[in-house]
Amino acid sequence: MMSPFLADGLIPLAKILAVILYPMLMVIVMIWLERRIVAWIQGRIGPNRVGFQGILQPFADAVKLFFKEDIVQRRADRFLFNISPVLVMFSTLLAFCFLPLGEPFRIGDYTLTLWVARSPVGLLLVLGLSSISVFGVIFGGWASNSKYPLLGALRSVVQVLSYEIPVGLTVLTVVFLARSMDLVRIVERQQESGVWYGFLLPVSFLVFWISAIAETNRAPFDLPEAESELVAGYHTEYSGMKFAFFYMAEYAHMVLASSLVVILFFGGWLPPFPGVKAFAFFGAVPGFVWYLVKIMFFLYLYVWIRATFPRYRFDSLIRLVWKWLIPLSLVNLLVVAGLRFLL
Amino acid sequence: MPDRIADAPRLEDVLRVLEGRFSEAVAGHDFAKGELTVRVRTERLADVLRFLKAEQGFAALQDMIGLDRGPETAAGSKRFAVLYQVYRPADRVRLRISVDADEAEGLPSAVAVWKSADWAEREIFDMFGLRFAGHPGLRRIYLDEAFDGHPLRKDFPLQGRSGGL
Amino acid sequence: MAFKEIALNMGPQHPSTHGVLRLKLAVDNEVVISLEPVLGYLHRGMEKLWENLTYTQIVPLTDRLDYLAALSNNLGFVLAVEKLAGIEVPKRGQVLRVVLAELQRLASHLAWVGFQANDIGAMSVLLYGFEARERILDLFEEYVGARLTVHGIRIGGVPRDFDPAFVRKIERTLDGLPAKLRDIELLLNENRIWKERTQGVGVITAAEAVDFGLTGPPLRATGTRWDIRKDVPYSSYEDFEFDVPLGSAGDVYDRYLVRMEEMRQSLGIVRQALARLPDGDFTAKVPRILRIPPAEVFHTIEAPKGELGFYIRSNGTDKPERVKMKSPSFINLMSLAHMSRGNLFSDVIGILGSLDIVLGEIDK
């Protein structure tokens, strides 16, 4: 019997530390990966001087930003201005608490679960928490007391809110199949049915993935913050560490979105062909390694898309979601619900 | 390259038409290096230009060139000249209309005839100080509004003038 | 609902105005009502300067006009001087000039496609275009020692002959280009996002274009067949076979297609030129101090940006009385206001890019 001190004290504490460090570590890896992959696609090298193959570059950037002067407008709303980066980071990190990283495994007679918290409505909580970051965006744009960040923030908010709808609708189809909103249960159900939901619900997967890119303000949906535009985005007036927070929060949000895609559609920590006996040897690799591999694949996809496609103009972006993605996901929902009812 | 205008029939045609229609306005012509320059009197300039575009098919104004004869121009002749380089795309005919001007009188604006005259006239105003009556917004184009002087005039020193703008 | 008009300012420092250009915009709910360019930030008084320099001294300064296509400026000027002075360039010199001018057109259009794509968000194309351009700049560097302000066409001909090794080098560079063009086209031509951002944007009709004095690819994109290399040929262009690509819609997309096809045609012209290089001198004998008796001349060429022209008036001395440059970018920029009206202000950058302007040429 493990001592209560460990089971109820130290281990949860360690998990909380992990849920802060894990996204931060992923962010650091992502910053490096993005610059190297984009450079490779463009026929360049990318950072390769700071540390081995440039691996310390993100640290160098963080240190530089740390030492930058923190400029705040005289007439900016100080409280909102300061709290926006915190809000954006905080909501994203909090959502990570509910993400399961792998199967629970036993140490002696103690079962170590690879999540901080488990809730029967975990999916809803994750989506809800990640939506709080929108407040950070609008506060930041407003508090900057400047025309262009405000316009950029408004555009960002409209974009994020519009794309929440297809996210919700496609996620519902997964809930129909899994009969649960518990993220751990969803993965277990994929194991029971022997196939990842992405193959059963291809339309949901595609619509969800496109919406996820738009939710995270990434290319080709990054107009609100593109440099070649007049309006430079809600984080124009931010400098130093506050800007770093926005920057890191964007990457953390990317990791969160990728994690959701993997859990909902790609079997979470499950190996490929989970029910098939012939491929049982995949199980030799621990679950969380599969999970990480899959997340890295989607993060690579993020970078690849960014380096390839031109940017959507704002009105095309909104037209896309309202004329195409939402009707498509509605129809998809009806079809899945109908099939579930019949079968 | 034709030496005489008789060897450039299309240009000769244009010249004859102009001389016929605007006999009092055409002050003369030059033909050299295969190019025809027709000198037009200031008073009929607007009519000539309009005629060339509307009835002779010179759809494009390629350039407007300002010239300064210098501050010691003899009394009786005007200090400046403006050249209109026009082009008829249908048969690739190029024509140069030359008109004299002085600062006091200026010239009529050609913007109503060819939109491309807009900035060309602003440039001549900026560099020479010649005004174009009827231009939709005659102001300097390169130099600052507060600049004093017109640099392409012969009496403006190459090094510029000291003392601020 | 009240009519709200917002005044916006772009530049003179802006990542996408392609130089120091200031645009004053008035927008109503994202739609452009009016646009006024403010020029002169790069005005160096070239025309005044030229009145005080000899004809030979002026040639290297012409590099600095359209600095992305220096050889075109050189060619435009020296052809006008040669017409004025009655200098005949030997056939070999003329064909070598064609090779250099078309290579320069390739380099200029490659830089253009990179900038245009980058402004609309396809950042990798910037690198692909510039990488291909580097190969051509290497050729210039080997030829006369300069990549950007080349000064590789002089009065009377070209500064040096091409030896067979250099010719082979050019051919090898040309061999590598079609694949790079194909890469760019694969990324952009049928890309739905690219088409949404460029089709129907910045439209101008053929008649309006001619009235505004538009020349070059923006004019040809409206369907107007106008290419000085065909219409009023110079420097032995009449001996070469090539097509003049035309568009139809007069929008940003057609301008892109026209320039991409022009690059292919330039490749063809250079190959034809190298295959049948005539023997003879590469330059005419030009007196060291070139004095030209009083005369005037106006000569234009088809530069990558449009119709580039020089009016020169000589006065019997070794310095010109007046030189006026007809700048294609200057005239093309005039129609930006007309093209942008009614479009969203997010598109202004795209339209400006499609005109392919260079501030050095605009401001002189």
| pLDDT tens per residue across span B79-105 | 899 999 999 988 889 999 999 998 888
Structural domain count of chain B? 1
Considering only CB atoms, which chain B residues are within 8 Å of C309?
Answer: 62-63, 85
Q: Do C122 and A309 touch (CB under 8 A)?
A: yes
CA distances from A300 to A35, A203, C119 (A): 11, 21, 24
Report strand pairing: C31-38 vs B132-133. unpaired
A133-155: average pLDDT? 80
Give a yes or no: residue B17 inside a domain: yes
Give a yes or no: residue B95 inside a domain: yes
Say what the alpha-carbon torsion angle B141, B144, B145, B148 is, to the nearest 10 degrees.
-110
Interchain contact B40–C (C-beta under 8 A): no
Q: Do C309 and B62 touch (CB under 8 A)?
A: yes
Residue B75 confidence (pLDDT): 74
Q: Residue A277: which residues within 8 A CB-CB, separation 6 or more?
A: none
Task: Decide: helix, strand or coil at residue C283.
Answer: strand
Q: Residue A55: which residues within 8 A CB-CB, separation 6 or more?
A: A32
CATH of the domain at B73: 3.30.460.80
Give a yes or no: residue B88 inside a domain: yes
Q: Which residue has the higher pLDDT, A340 or C61?
A: C61
Instruction: Share the mean pLDDT of chain C.
Output: 91
Q: Domain span at residue B100?
A: 5-105
- Closest CA in chain A for residue C124: A42
**Roughly how many angstroms between the first and final C-alpha of chain C, as a whole number?**
46
Whether residue C108 has pLDDT greater than 90: yes
Give a yes or no: residue B165 inside a domain: no
Considering only CB atoms, which chain C residues are within 8 Å of A315?
Answer: 30, 344
Give a yes or no: residue B150 inside a domain: no
Interchain contact B63–C (C-beta under 8 A): yes
Whether residue A13 has pLDDT greater than 90: no
pTM here is 0.89
Instruction: Share the mean pLDDT of chain A.
Output: 85
Q: Residue C283: which residues within 8 A CB-CB, separation 6 or more?
A: C89, C90, C93, C154, C156, C157, C158, C159
Residue C3 corresponds to which amino acid?
F
**Weakest-pLDDT range from A104-108, C139-143, C301-305:** A104-108
Mutation target for C interface from B10, B119, B140: give the one with most C CBs within 10 A.
B119
Which partners does chain C have (≥3 C-beta pairs < 8 Å)? Answer: A, B
Considering only CB atoms, which chain C residues are within 8 Å of A312?
Answer: 193, 196-197
Give a yes or no: residue B153 inside a domain: no
Considering only CB atoms, which chain A residues are within 8 Å of C16?
Answer: 228
Q: What is the pLDDT of residues A219-236, one digit of tens each?
A: 888 877 765 565 567 777
CA distances from A212 to A197, A321, B28, C263 (A): 17, 12, 75, 39
Give a yes or no: residue B31 inside a domain: yes
Half-sphere exposure (Cβ direction) of C350: Cα atoms closer than 13 Å: 30
Q: Chain A, 44-73: which have a CB under 8 Å from a chain C CB? A: 44
* Residue B43 CB neighbours (<10 A): 12
- Closest CA in chain B for residue C300: B62
Q: Assess contact for C273 and C98: CB atoms under 8 A.
A: yes
Considering only CB atoms, which chain B residues are within 8 Å of C364?
Answer: 142
Considering only CB atoms, which chain C residues are within 8 Å of A38?
Answer: 123-124
Q: Rounded CA gap, B143 and B126, in Å?
A: 7
Q: What is the set of domains in chain C, with CATH numbers? A: 43-335 (1.10.645.10)
Interchain contact C8–B (C-beta under 8 A): no
Residue C2 confidence (pLDDT): 46
Please, do chains C and A touch (3+ CB pairs < 8 Å)?
Answer: yes
Please, do chains A and B touch (3+ CB pairs < 8 Å)?
Answer: no
